[in-house]
Amino acid sequence: MSKDNKKIPKLFSGSIKDLTKPKTQEEAKKNLKSEKKQKTLYISLDTNRKLIELYGEEGRRQSNIVEDAVDLYYYLKKALGDRKFDELMEVIKRENVEEIREYLVKKFIL
Cβ neighbours of residue 103 closer than 8 Å, sequence gap 6 or more:
88, 91
pLDDT at 19 over 70: no
Q: What is the pLDDT, as a whole number, of residue 15?
A: 66
Q: Tell me the HSE value of 36 on the side-chain side, using a 13 A CA sphere.
A: 6
pLDDT at 90 over 80: yes
Q: What is the pLDDT, as a whole number, of residue 66?
A: 85
What is the tens place of the pLDDT at every residue in 28-83? 566 555 555 555 678 888 888 888 888 888 888 878 888 899 999 999 999 999 99
The pTM assigned to this predicted structure is: 0.56
Q: Please tell me whether residue 59 adopts helix, strand or coil conformation.
A: coil
Distance CA 23, CA 11 (A): 13
Q: What is the pLDDT, as a whole number, of residue 23?
A: 61
DSSP code of residue 15:
-
Q: What is the pLDDT, as a whole number, of residue 54?
A: 87
